[in-house]
Amino acid sequence: MSLPTWRDWLFSGKAFFAAMLALYIALAFDLPRTYWAVTAVYIVSSPLAGATSSKALYRALGTVMGAVAAVVLVPLLIDAPELLVLAVALWTGGLLYISLLDRTPRSYVFMLAGYSLALIALPDVGAPESIFDTALARSEEILLGISCAALVGTMVFPSSLGPSLSGRLALLIEDAASWADEILRGEGALPATPLRRQRLATDIAGLDLVISQLAYDVGARDIARHARELRGRLLMLLPLFSSLADRLYALKTSGRLLAPELAATLQEVAEWIGHGARCDAGEGPRLLARIQALEPGGRTDWEALVLSSGLERLRDIVELWQDCVSLQRLIAEGKGASHWRPVFVSRRILPLSRHHDHGLLLFSAASVALSVVAASAVWIGTGWASGAGFVMMAAVAGSFFAGLDQPVPKIRSMLVLTVVAILIAALYLFIILPLVQSFEMLVLVLAPAFLALGLMITRPALAMSGVLVAVNVASFVALQNRYSAEFAGFANDGLASAAGIGFALAWAAITRPFGSAWAARRLVHAGWADLAETAAGERRADSDRLAGRSLDRLGQLVPRLGSLEDRVLADVDGFAEVRVGFNVVELQRTRAAIGPAGGLADAVLDAVSGLYAARQARGTVVAPPETLRIAIDRALGGTLDTSPAGRRAIDALVGLRRVFFPEAAPPLSTRAAPALPLAAE
């Protein structure tokens, strides 16, 4: 591991300064729980100013929502503890479900609001008359802490998101350029997309987390629109790469050598794209003219249709690449407000469309809600004086990791880190702090531990550990205006917290044993169901969002596939199913405009729908039936319309045949002659 850089030390120093500033103000105003302000600083602090500001806003909103709920519910239900427990559980689970639906940093608002009710309400169930004061104090101190963190983060040597985003985009463009180079030079022209290349969908989808924080970064706010445009175009490139690789594979395995003109053009495009973000955008129009000159003209054979389809993909890739390079340069230069015109205008950019496994998310949220009920039953049954802390930590631990397929390892780590924090807090509370006589001395003795924890936060692999230990140390030390420490109470509170996390660990092990394989299978089956319904015409209203949903599913699926050994999932090519979705939507759009051939297109759509319905029903990959190939070949031979709609329909049929029957012999009859097919994957 490399040594901390000066930027790491700067962040750690800023976070510690913000925490001490919040502590000083809280002590000056004699706030009842000053340590809440310190914990808030370390929860929201991030090396990037925009991330700190966004987390500060989200924590403020979540805290206020939880405080209001506590003030409303506790006085109403204090005489019915069972109903109060049920209300806390339903509130925690309901808001956790909403947070799981929103896979951006904004989801923290709802998760925090969910477990904040337990944090505020449960310790004061024995004194309901003080619940308003407790809720107000927590809100004041947390707002103080996040205000100090945001102020220091934005005013003292702020680190903008812009350079970080620019560097990340440059790496993604280089990775995409590498894949394009493999395809165009022949090494990556394969009938199926390698898993390592499917991972690009996950990496590009991950840009949403950074882009969503740009609005809170003064130095990078203007580039947010360009960043969204670039993300959409990078996603659009991925199925086009997969489709082009398939078409080139078909041409190279047809028994003929590629025409010299085509081979030379592919090499030129490969060299141009190979420069990544440094390529000359002015070369784009010349390459597009070269591609246009390769169109097969009036030829009607299968090889000509495949060639024309591949050239259309290549044309789209060149146009999109020009857009990606120009956008990346504008972002790198911080020129978000400058005028920009896209080159790629032949199709809509993929909309941001999410796939949510509502059943799995509801199960995860309900599991946490039930754990709150069960932990509360233990508390009430034992009459444990510190039982409120037990329930609180069970709710927090369960909520934090509810979105994971396998939460047990993370909760186990949280338990270990909490025990470490308790030991550090004991060292401070019973050995070091009794010797402290001034605030300056307090800052001096706290600095070594908290500066080290701040350095941990700068390392992505250690960030969560650093935050958990810092927050727990501040909470267990419970700094106040006057030193008062009692070992029995400290030990009881520490035991309650550790036991609450241990309870969440055991609960997750019992109720969430399924792991990644189960979630991955559900994603695959959801994709099959989506394609079956779309091909059957049941989802025409949102067909434009089908590709977006498919790529979002792919982004969720690929990280799980890498760690699984599942025969059903091993054969899944996520991009192939995205291409099927493009082609199905294109046939749905054009079938009414191609005259009598529309009936032949309907037969193809019915067969595709039946195939995916069969896969969904059997829960396994069912081979495409011969009747589907016959339907596609009949539609290809019967589509005589050479209008733009007819050419799009033919191209969609070519795409479907290549996905389902890549090794089949060419159709016996292909009479249509598309001079310039439009995009379908």
Q: Check if the beta carbon of residue 215 is closer than 8 Å to that of residue 249.
A: no
Distance CA 653, CA 672 (A): 12
Residues 90, 151: one domain? yes
Question: Which two structure tokens, joined as six digits, stand for 136?
Answer: 């107000």
**How many domains are there within the chain?**
3
Please name the residues in contact with 580: beta carbons below 8 A apart, sequence gap of 6 or more: 531, 608, 655, 656, 659
Q: CA distances (Å), 28 to each of 20, 174, 208, 481, in order?
A: 12, 53, 41, 9
Number of C-beta neighbours around residue 160 at 10 A: 19
Residue 666 lies in a domain: no
pLDDT, position 444: 96
- Of 28, 224, 30, 60, the residue nearest 150 (C-alpha): 60
Query: Which one-letter amino acid corresponds to residue 141?
Result: E
Residue 442 lies in a domain: yes
Q: Report residue 174 CA to chain centroid gap.
A: 21
- Of 621, 610, 89, 594, the residue nearest 379 (C-alpha): 89
Residue 678 lies in a domain: no
Residue 348 lies in a domain: no
Number of C-beta neighbours around residue 297 at 10 A: 9
Structural element, H or E, at residue 170: helix 161-185
Q: How many residues does the chain have?
A: 681
Please name the residues in contact with 630: beta carbons below 8 A apart, sequence gap of 6 or more: none
Q: Check if the beta carbon of residue 591 is closer than 8 Å to that of residue 571.
A: no
Residues 123, 272: one domain? no
Phi, psi of 177, rounded to the nearest 5 degrees: -65, -35
* CATH code where residue 288 lies: 1.20.58
pLDDT, position 679: 41
> Where do we find the tokens 């950074």?
210
pLDDT, position 563: 57
Residues 68, 175: one domain? no
Residues 146, 173: one domain? no
Run means of pLDDT, 10 residues per run, the chain, 681 residues = 85 95 93 90 86 86 93 88 91 96 87 91 80 89 93 85 82 90 82 78 81 74 83 89 91 80 92 84 88 80 88 93 90 74 79 83 96 94 88 94 93 96 94 91 95 94 93 87 78 94 96 85 89 81 69 81 58 79 87 80 94 91 92 85 79 92 80 40 47
DSSP 341: -
Residue 301 lies in a domain: yes
Q: Which long-range contacts (CB under 8 A, 24 or more apart) does 479-486 make?
A: 479/23, 479/27, 479/34, 479/35, 479/38, 479/442, 480/27, 480/34, 480/35, 481/27, 481/30, 481/34, 483/433, 483/434, 483/436, 485/429, 485/430, 485/433, 485/434
Q: In b/e form, how buried is each residue of 265-292, taking b as 16+ CB within 10 angstroms?
A: bbebbbebbbebbebeeebbeebbebbe
Residues 179, 123: one domain? no
Q: CA distances (Å), 640 to each of 589, 595, 600, 632, 676, in order?
A: 17, 9, 12, 14, 15
Residue 351 lies in a domain: no
Residues 153, 170: one domain? no
Residues 167, 307: one domain? yes
Torsion of CA 42, 48, 52, 53, to 10 degrees: 160
Q: Check if the beta carbon of residue 474 is closer than 8 Å to that of residue 35.
A: yes
Residues 305, 209: one domain? yes
Q: In b/e form, how buried is each residue of 161-178, taking b as 16+ CB within 10 angstroms?
A: bbebbbeebbebbebbbb
Q: Check if the beta carbon of residue 270 is closer than 8 Å to that of residue 181.
A: yes
pLDDT, position 363: 95
Distance CA 38, CA 25 (A): 11
pLDDT, position 185: 86
Residues 285, 364: one domain? no
- Of 373, 380, 625, 632, the residue nearest 503 (C-alpha): 373
Question: Which two structure tokens, joined as six digits, stand for 157?
Answer: 């040597």
Residue 344 lies in a domain: no
Residue 518 lies in a domain: no
Residues 15, 71: one domain? yes
- Of 227, 253, 399, the residue nearest 324 (C-alpha): 227
- Of 391, 374, 368, the residue nearest 512 (C-alpha): 368
Question: Which two structure tokens, joined as six digits, stand for 103?
Answer: 């896979």
Q: In b/e form, how buried is each residue of 118-138, taking b as 16+ CB within 10 angstroms?
A: bbbbbbbbeebeebeebbebb
Q: Single out the residue in 300, 317, 333 at which a domain terminates.
A: 333
Full domain range(s) for residue 129: 6-159+357-511
SS (H, E, C) 502-564: HHHHHHHHHHCCCHHHHHHHHHHHHHHHHHHHHHCCCCHHHHHHHHHHHHHHHHHHHHHHCCC
Phi, psi of 4, rounded to the nearest 5 degrees: -60, 140
Please name the residues in contact with 263: beta carbons below 8 A apart, sequence gap of 6 or more: none
Residues 362, 498: one domain? yes
DSSP 340: -
pLDDT, position 594: 80
Residues 381, 405: one domain? yes
> Where do we find the tokens 């000509």?
304
